[in-house]
Amino acid sequence: MKKTIIFSAIALCFSLGTVNAKSANFNVDNHNVVTVLKVNSFCVSIAKGDIETVKKLLSLGEDVNQKSDGMTPVMYAAKYNRTEILELLIAEGADLKTKSDKKMTASDYAKLHGATDAHAIIEQALSKK
């Protein structure tokens, strides 16, 4: 009998708690979200290390010195230590002395991100010019 009364009391407490609960209605206006990708597909391929796509884009006439989000392709290769792609870009005539919108060169990006292999390649290429 005591158990029945206790369970009934507990059930009553829960039912009273849910009766007084209010549902929240939020009115949200429709908003158009526009995603702006600042980095072009060429530089994204470089950052990912997809050398086959980089080669295809170069064969289709991609500009090795065109900035994307303020950085040139060699800066992306240097930043992400993509040495094979970096050598390819240098062979295609990439300008290693160009500065980004942040006033940094590809060599600066390599140093900043600890890309020692890329930094060595850039320094070697600069010494030959």
**Which tokens is 64 given?**
């090795």
> Which residues constitute the domain of residue 103?
33-128
Residue 112 within any structural domain of the chain: yes
Between 96 and 39, the higher pLDDT residue: 96
Residues 93 and 102: their CA atoms lie apart, in Å, by 22
Residue 11 within any structural domain of the chain: no
pLDDT at residue 28, as a whole number: 55
Instruction: State the total domains in the chain.
Output: 1
- CATH number where 54 lies: 1.25.40.20
Residue 12 within any structural domain of the chain: no
- pTM, two decimal places: 0.70
Range name among 1-10, 81-90, 114-123 with the lowest pLDDT average: 1-10
Nearest to 97 by CA among 67, 77, 58, 126: 126
Residue 20 within any structural domain of the chain: no
Residues 66-109 pLDDT 10s: 999 999 999 999 999 999 999 999 999 999 999 999 999 999 99
Residue 122 within any structural domain of the chain: yes
Residues in CB range of 128: below 8 A, 6 or more apart = none
Could you tell me the pLDDT band of residue 38, with boundaries at 50, 70 and 90? confident
